[in-house]
Chains A and B, each alone.
Chain A
């Protein structure tokens, strides 16, 4: 949080069919529908999240990610970062308060990787869903499906990893927590964090800019990941791979797809990162093990199925 960027705040995803998407994100993942807006966007959150929403779905004829938003500590930070982003060379767009319901003003910019990111300082906080703020019970009754607890991070495929890293570390105060280096020492994957998590956003080098690999949601235990796998089979949901463990971050995971082909992950566990920690390094010749620790080889889909 060196530059006042606190944490991930929201992700807006495009889906081909809203009704099918809601069946997936609400009935299967267990996110809570919080609101809808005049544009037809639907606002969701995991039950442990304090904010009013963290996932926004928008119907479109091309799936993928519109933007990923991070919360900053206050409006003065937003003003300062807006200038610093412009100085870095980013074109900064201002979005008025209320453009996303319940969210204050946002600034949006395109990273060198070709992805759009946002910063905001204020969003309505409705508290954890289904438990009171005073003397809260362990969990609420009535959760559905995988009972995803929160939106956690995403993995993005794109161009210009070095400049993207410079933007996230020098301007936004992220740390490089984990990386994959090829034989020539070039970074082909970078996992960035703004707090103690192993990653808040990660990038993999790819010939096309701005591609979306997955949005990830946090579960409490390995048992929950196995239960998620059962639900994926029960609902005949398109699976990618898992349950397994990652080498990178060491999280325990399963990957699957939403009905529009956006990849999702639910995971538990994983490493932590303090700001003084050097990055954890994997070498590209061990990439299979770095991504899928048990199979020790990549499935082709992991590198090519993107939205």
Chain B
């Protein structure tokens, strides 16, 4: 299955097999894995933020609130808007802010 891109998530060590044109987050969900938290899947909420460690990716539109131009330049991105172009490595950030009721 050489047409699959293999993307390693550094914190968990999980390796995700991503189809061409498939987002990293979508591939993770398809394989029943949970190494990156899943939010809106639309580039809006920032829950699935990762840092690209190595490899090449295409980027879809994502909220500038969660990934500023500067951050993007430093390899930060939302996994739901990250389309691998080859074997690569990312690291989950886990920055989501939770609502108050569950914080007790």
What residues of chain A have their CB less than 8 Å away from a CB belonging to chain B? 16-17, 61-64, 157, 180, 182-183, 188-189, 204-208, 238, 257-263, 284, 287, 298, 300-301, 303-307
Contact = CB atoms under 8 A, between A and B. Distances in A.
A262 B101 contact: no
Given A61-B64, A206-B97, A287 B44 contact: no
Contact of A305 (B45, B65, B101, B104): B45
Interface string B59-71: 0011111000000
Contacts of A17: 61
Given A16-B63, A61-B63, A188 B39 contact: no
A271 to B, nearest CB: 21
B100 A207 contact: yes
Nearest to B38: A301
Contact of A300 (B37, B61, B62, B104): B37
Contacts of B63: 16, 61-64, 260-261, 307
A305 B102 contact: no
Interface in B40-62: 40-45, 47, 61-62
A189 B101 CA distance: 9
A303 B44 contact: no
Closest 9 CB pairs of A and B: A261-B44, A261-B40, A261-B42, A305-B39, A304-B96, A238-B41, A205-B100, A305-B45, A63-B44
Contact of B102 (A63, A208, A259, A298): A298
Contacts of A284: 101, 104
A298 B100 CA distance: 13
30 contacts: A16-B43, A16-B44, A16-B63, A63-B42, A63-B44, A64-B44, A182-B101, A182-B104, A183-B104, A188-B99, A204-B99, A205-B101, A207-B97, A257-B42, A258-B42, A260-B44, A260-B61, A261-B45, A262-B42, A262-B44, A287-B102, A301-B39, A303-B99, A303-B101, A304-B98, A305-B39, A306-B45, A307-B40, A307-B45, A307-B63
Given A61-B63, A305-B47, A257 B41 contact: yes
Given A16-B63, A261-B39, 16 more contacts: A16-B44, A61-B63, A63-B42, A63-B63, A180-B101, A188-B100, A204-B99, A205-B101, A208-B97, A261-B42, A261-B45, A301-B39, A304-B39, A304-B98, A305-B45, A305-B47
Chain B, interface residues (CB within 8 Å), range: 20 to 34
A16 B98 CA distance: 24
A304 B97 contact: yes
A257 B37 CA distance: 16
A16 B101 contact: no
A72 B65 CA distance: 33
A303 B39 CA distance: 10
B101 A263 contact: no
B43 A62 contact: no
A263 B40 contact: yes
A307 B96 CA distance: 12
Contacts of A205: 99-101
Contacts of A298: 102
